[in-house]
Amino acid sequence: MIAVALSGGVDSSFAAYLLRERGENLLGLFALLSQSDPEQEIARVRRICDFLKISLEIVDLRRPFKEKVIAYFKEQYRQGLTPNPCIICNREIKFGLLLETAHKLGASKLATGHYVRLQFNKANLCYELFKGRDQDKDQSYFLALLTQKQLSQTIFPLGEWKKEEVIKEAVKLGLFNLTSPESQEVCFIRGDYRNLFLQEDFPPGDIVTVSGKVVGKHQGLFAYTIGQRRGLGVRLGKPYYVVALDRERNRLIIGPKKFLKRKHLRVGGVHFICPAYRSQSFDAFVRIRYRHKEAPARIELLSASEARVVFKNPQEAVTPGQFAIFYQKELVLGGGEILPAPVEELIKNSEKPI
């Protein structure tokens, strides 16, 4: 039996349809995460399962989701970092606890609606992860920290499909009207993410230019991210951007756009999908956020868990807390979390005071 993680969206629903057409014995799984009022979502998923003629199990993961994902999200912002909860959720919840539940219910594998491809390489005895055929919907960035054990127990039916093809077929089947076109990217946030922190004490501090001039006050570092231009509350005659979050001194560092460019970064918690990929030094293309076009770079391992990434050309808005993911063409090698750089390093080429 194969369990299918159903979100109520068209992608996971069509993935289930494809497996059913292959003659697989299916079980639908819906993970309760953080919805305060999940009845509407559950009703939608039940209609999908009725349409597909498969049974459904509701898996209550709200407590571990809060402990592993929402707590991580909040703590990253407290540390002056910009988190990526989807990567953590996939590793810990969907391909962690939900996969474990699938096994307990008798399933051999878990299928999802991710646009990625998976192949077993007999030469290195490794499950390899590749970008999805649909480059616009490719979700390999979010799955780059999965382990061999997790990948060996997973199926991605949409890897060779394009989103437009999925929607076209779902409309023909009558399935599209039962689903939502897209799952919400950060599922536990309704509205502004800063609402999560309204009851917490984040002290205000100085807004400082890269040249050291105090030009305003911020209301808490959690409300800002690298590269942000709007909402700074300062007027300096030309565009200024968030260059760094100085948590140690509770300062928001801003500067002209040129200060967003960085030639290198450090990555912590380095993970390789296959042990064979690990090398002391190698060339790869590196993506520093989901919608970033990966750029050529040299990766140098500094220790078992830390690496230095040196780009061929400087990249804009390198954001600590996000993840740098390594690619070789379509193949996903792995990656790790972007670490903060010393503020002095970021602004050592400061322009003259404004």
| pLDDT value for 25 | 95
Q: Is residue 183 part of a domain?
A: no
Residue 212 and residue 327 share a domain: no
pTM score, whole prediction: 0.91
Residue 265 and residue 249 share a domain: no
Q: Is residue 187 part of a domain?
A: no
pLDDT confidence tier of residue 201, bands split at 50, 70 and 90: low
Q: Is residue 12 part of a domain?
A: yes
Mean pLDDT of all residues belonging to the chain: 90
Mean pLDDT over 167-183 rounds to 84
Residue 289 and residue 153 share a domain: no
Q: Is residue 217 part of a domain?
A: yes
Contact of 338 with 288, CB cutoff 8 Å: yes
Q: Is residue 340 part of a domain?
A: yes
Up-side HSE of residue 43: CA atoms within 13 Å toward CB?
Answer: 4
- pLDDT higher than 90, residue 152: yes
Residue 129 and residue 35 share a domain: yes
Residue 37 and residue 128 share a domain: yes
∠ Cα 141 147 151 (to 5°)? 80
| pLDDT value for 189 | 53
Dist CA 338 CA 340 (whole Å): 7
Looking at residue 320, the DSSP 8-state letter turns out to be B
Give just the sign of the alpha carbon dihedral 329, 335, 339, 341.
negative
Residue 138 and residue 204 share a domain: no
- pLDDT higher than 60, residue 45: yes
CATH of the domain at 8: 3.40.50.620
**Residues with a known catalytic role:** 89, 187
The tens digit of pLDDT for each residue in 286-326 reads: 999 998 999 999 999 999 999 999 999 999 999 999 999 99
Residue 163 and residue 59 share a domain: yes
Residue 287 and residue 233 share a domain: no
Residue 269 and residue 244 share a domain: no
Q: Hey, what long-range contacts does 291-296 have (CB within 8 A, 24 or more apart)?
A: 294/325, 294/327
- The parent domain of residue 235 ranges over 200-255
| pLDDT value for 74 | 86
55 beta partners: 27
Look at residues 163, 128, 146, 141 and name the one whose alpha carbon lies nearest to residue 15: 163
Give just the sign of the alpha carbon dihedral 83, 86, 87, 91.
positive
205-209, strands of its sheet edge to edge: 214-218, 205-209, 251-255, 241-246
pLDDT confidence tier of residue 349, bands split at 50, 70 and 90: very low
Dist CA 150 CA 91 (whole Å): 9
Rg (CA), the chain: 22
Dist CA 39 CA 37 (whole Å): 6
Looking at residue 91, the DSSP 8-state letter turns out to be I
pLDDT confidence tier of residue 37, bands split at 50, 70 and 90: confident
Look at residues 208, 219, 305 and name the one whose alpha carbon lies nearest to residue 251: 208
Dist CA 68 CA 95 (whole Å): 13
- pLDDT higher than 70, residue 160: yes
- pLDDT higher than 70, residue 351: no
CATH of the domain at 275: 2.40.30.10
Domain boundary among 148, 178, 208: 178
Tokens of 227: 């590269």
Residue 281 and residue 151 share a domain: no
Residue 322 and residue 298 share a domain: yes
Amino acid identity at 296? P
Tell me how many domains the chain contains. Answer: 3
Q: Is residue 194 part of a domain?
A: no
Q: Is residue 185 part of a domain?
A: no
Report DSSP letters for 228-248, one per residue.
--TT-----SS--EEEEEETT
Dist CA 114 CA 157 (whole Å): 8
Residue 307 and residue 169 share a domain: no
| pLDDT value for 334 | 97
Contacts of residue 130, defined as CB under 8 A and 6 or more positions apart, other chains included, come to 116, 117, 118, 119, 140, 159, 330, 331, 332
Residue 295's φ and ψ, nearest 5 degrees, are -120, 150
- pLDDT higher than 80, residue 33: yes
Contact of 223 with 194, CB cutoff 8 Å: yes
CATH of the domain at 251: 2.30.30.280
Contact of 41 with 69, CB cutoff 8 Å: no
Helix (H) or strand (E) run with residue 5 in it: strand 2-5
Q: Is residue 186 part of a domain?
A: no
Contact of 111 with 5, CB cutoff 8 Å: yes
Amino acid identity at 208? V
pLDDT confidence tier of residue 197, bands split at 50, 70 and 90: low
Domain boundary among 212, 232, 255: 255
How crowded is residue 37: how many other Cβ atoms within 10 Å of its Cβ?
A: 6
